[in-house]
Structure 1
Amino acid sequence: MKHTLFVLFCLLMTASCSTAGPATAPPTEHDIGRLLMVGFRGTSLEECPDLGDHLENGRIGGVILFDYDVPSHSTRRNIESPQQLAQLTAALQNTASHPLLIAIDQEGGAVCRLKPSRGFRQTPSAAELGRLNDPDSTYRSACVTAETLRAMGINLNFAPVVDLDINPDNPVIGGLGRSFSHDPDTVAVHARQTIRAMEEAGIITALKHFPGHGSSATDTHKDFTDISGSWKKTELTPYANLIDHGYRGMIMTAHVYNSQLDRQYPATLSHSTISGLLRDSLGFGGVVISDDLQMNAVASHYELETAIRLALQAGVDILLFANNSTYDPEIVDKVHTIIRRLIDNGSIPPERIEQSARRIDALMGHNAEHQ
């Protein structure tokens, strides 16, 4: 009898093992690279051979372009003229082993990397469009930007800003005219027109800065920014509105600390804010990208490995290292080494990398349908 039971037990175990799904394979260098976006110095690929190697080997999934190099206080960075920029982006895309995200901050007004002084058209700020409050005008302005980006080979615009103009003295939002309005419904209306124009041209958008940066009194580029006492739940309204209307682009996190949402971590590093609030409560299933992880609100308070671990555990899909607060030519190697170590020691399961890769693939596939 005991022998019979033992045989039955073995058969059941064999059947159970045979029907279990295969374990997730360890992420490849290419898999990890999809989650990494970096900034670089150079107006041509020949000026940055290390970047070319990373592109060929699939070690990065995206790049971000600037017209000004902050660490060196130089106007020479990536953008000189329309012709030069189009040649640069074509070389980047042709060198990459997979479709590359080429990103820029082209909001309009003060935050524009494609400036008239470099041969590009001037576009109004969000604040100007919000005061006019004509959605058709916002759409037409966004069409001009979208057409320019498409012609330049740029496929991701870190816009529109959906922060509310709660604090007009805010040095990084209200003070720069980056918000459409203090009213969340007005912000959502104008953001929707911007998204529409970009999507029609095959440009991916990124709503920012979640969960809201408009009430802050300080700048996350410079240091720790606490909005615990000023943040209002209405700052989530534009996100909820756009997600409910089927928003399919990205959402960028803010490095703001908000004890109403997380008593320990700033939003970018907060599981309760990203996975809990944004994904579970608001229902966003798309790509989440961090704001620049070299900004002082994060970099001055967290070791690089800690910031990467917390961001990935929080639910961030793409880690942005703009290389324009500080410049680290070895950032790609460092991030790959850290992520591999986090996977090996069990801090980040392979499934977490695969999850982000699937979201990025879905986004790129959706965008390809509109090109």
Structure 2
Amino acid sequence: MILVGFAGDDVDDVSVAALREEIAGGHLGGVMYLRSNVKSLTAVEEMNAAFRAASPDLPPFISLDQEGGSVERLTRAVGFEEIPNAATVAARNSPEGAEAIYGTLAQRLAALGFNVNFGPVADINLNPDNQIIARYGRAFATDAETVIAYDTAFIRAHEAAGLLTSLKHFPGHGSSTADSHEGFVDITGTWQESELEPYRELIGEGYDEFVMVGHLYHADYSGGVEGLPSSLSPQWITGVLREELGFDGVVISDDLEMGAIRQHFTLRETVTQAVRAGMDVLLFSNTAEPRASLADEIREILVAEAQADPAFAARIEESYGRIVALKARIR
């Protein structure tokens, strides 16, 4: 249930060796790359091989955000061929053409040892002044139908290469007027029901890998708790995503160190509320206060809460079942 960012950019780094031990001991579910972890493609391939070798029977999620455009961890600076952002891909290519582009991308990621790419973006570009989606061309279109077509192309391309994908950012970041990286984002007055359509359609067609939940506050889905974001909301995760839309895959959080979370919740509150809301994988970039002990701290909170509350322990068991089932697909 724990997926973290890490320090180091070489297989021989002390920090990377420590991660390998945590993975081997069953104490860590996966790792996420940032640009700071990439000094060369060779070094990335060596680290990923070491992470995988640490737990060959239950492989770690080895993940990154490689959408294209400005959201990418592997760049031409290290010899990785970059691709355009989603808006440009959709404007210049049919869904079939996009699938070819993403197919090449996915094959190159797989060759480096990655098994999860956090995409496609399922947000709809409803607010042209949006600071985090529209600004960087991260959404494929302004309508759900087109977004669904290009999301499907992205997913198919990655599945063909053996990579898992993640729809994001549930329940919809495209209409927002602020950036959850920086702080509190209230979508109560801007969010539209149509923003669920990509999720509804793709889940209805059988999509069951990851859905990434954003840190977006909607007063009508907060259970009366002022400021409770979607990533900590049972109404959004269990109510809408699980029960209404029928998603039975793995629910993963957006980075739980974003300002929208860490400015308002302690680590214990974040972990326990996310799990109670229905979150399966807790994603921490480990950039706010970088430390090697972060995964241990999260695990201690989970164990202590499970020992004190049988219902919480049962929730962990549910997540474990979903995570193991998804990892069984990793080639």
Instruction: Please give the range of the TM-score, normalised by the shorter of the 2 chains.
Output: over 0.9
Please say if residues 48 and 113 of structure 2, whose CA atoms lie closer than 8 Å, have aligned partners that are also in contact: yes
Q: CA deviation at 1:114?
A: 0.8
Structure-1 separation of matches of 2:221 and 2:154: 29
3-state DSSP class of the match of 1:297? helix
Structure-2 separation of matches of 1:132 and 1:325: 38
Structure-2 separation of matches of 1:66 and 1:306: 26
Q: CA deviation at 1:133?
A: 5.1
Which stretch of the first structure deviates more once superposed, 85-94 or 128-137? 128-137
Residue in structure 1 matched with residue 239 of structure 2 by the alignment: 276
- Residue 302 of structure 2 is aligned with which of 330, 339, 344? 339
Please say if residues 120 and 155 of structure 2, whose CA atoms lie closer than 8 Å, have aligned partners that are also in contact: yes
2:44 maps to a residue whose letter is: L
Q: How many residue pairs are counted as aligned between the two chains?
A: 325
- Residue 87 of structure 1 is aligned with which of 46, 60, 68? 46
1:193 maps to a residue whose letter is: A
TM alignment of 1:7-46, pairs within 5 A: 35-46=1-12
Structure-1 separation of matches of 2:145 and 2:134: 17
- Residue 229 of structure 1 is aligned with which of 166, 182, 189? 189
3-state DSSP class of the match of 2:131? coil
Q: CA deviation at 1:346?
A: 1.0
Please say if residues 61 and 100 of structure 1, whose CA atoms lie closer than 8 Å, have aligned partners that are also in contact: yes
Residue in structure 2 matched with residue 354 of structure 1 by the alignment: 317
Residue in structure 1 matched with residue 115 of structure 2 by the alignment: 155
Give the unaligned 5+ runs of structure 1: 1-34, 68-76
Distance 1:133 1:52, change over 3 A: closer
Please say if residues 207 and 250 of structure 1, whose CA atoms lie closer than 8 Å, have aligned partners that are also in contact: yes
1:247-283 CA distances to partner (integer Å, 9 max, x unpaired)?
0210000001011322422100000100000000000
Counterpart check, 1:196 vs 2:162: no
Residue in structure 2 matched with residue 106 of structure 1 by the alignment: 66
Structure-2 separation of matches of 1:167 and 1:95: 44
Structure-1 separation of matches of 2:170 and 2:80: 29
Counterpart check, 1:138 vs 2:101: no
1:149-183 CA distances to partner (integer Å, 9 max, x unpaired)?
10010000000001111112211111011000110
**TM-score (structure 1 length as normaliser):** 0.85
Counterpart check, 1:298 vs 2:261: yes
Residue in structure 2 matched with residue 181 of structure 1 by the alignment: 141
1:143 maps to a residue whose letter is: G
Which stretch of the first structure deviates more once superposed, 280-289 or 135-144? 135-144
Q: CA deviation at 1:102?
A: 0.1
Structure-2 separation of matches of 1:229 and 1:121: 40
3-state DSSP class of the match of 2:165? strand
RMSD over equivalenced CA pairs, Å? 1.3
3-state DSSP class of the match of 1:112? coil
2:29 maps to a residue whose letter is: G
**TM-score (structure 2 length as normaliser):** 0.95
Please say if residues 307 and 313 of structure 2, whose CA atoms lie closer than 8 Å, have aligned partners that are also in contact: no
3-state DSSP class of the match of 1:260? helix
1:290 maps to a residue whose letter is: S
Please say if residues 342 and 348 of structure 1, whose CA atoms lie closer than 8 Å, have aligned partners that are also in contact: no
Q: CA deviation at 1:117?
A: 1.0
Structure-2 separation of matches of 1:95 and 1:214: 39
Structure-1 separation of matches of 2:132 and 2:183: 12
Please say if residues 10 and 47 of structure 2, whose CA atoms lie closer than 8 Å, have aligned partners that are also in contact: yes
1:319 maps to a residue whose letter is: L
Which stretch of the first structure deviates more once superposed, 260-269 or 335-344? 260-269
3-state DSSP class of the match of 2:83? coil
Structure-2 separation of matches of 1:237 and 1:181: 13
Q: CA deviation at 1:348?
A: 4.8
Residue in structure 2 matched with residue 238 of structure 1 by the alignment: 198
Distance 1:99 1:284, change over 3 A: same
Structure-2 separation of matches of 1:362 and 1:333: 24
3-state DSSP class of the match of 1:41? coil
Structure-2 separation of matches of 1:211 and 1:54: 33
Structure-1 separation of matches of 2:207 and 2:98: 18
2:73 maps to a residue whose letter is: R
TM alignment of 1:251-290, pairs within 5 A: 251-262=211-222, 263-264=224-225, 265-290=228-253
Residue in structure 2 matched with residue 3 of structure 1 by the alignment: none
2:303 maps to a residue whose letter is: R
Residue in structure 1 matched with residue 178 of structure 2 by the alignment: 218
1:52 maps to a residue whose letter is: R
2:9 maps to a residue whose letter is: T
1:96 maps to a residue whose letter is: S
1:223 maps to a residue whose letter is: G
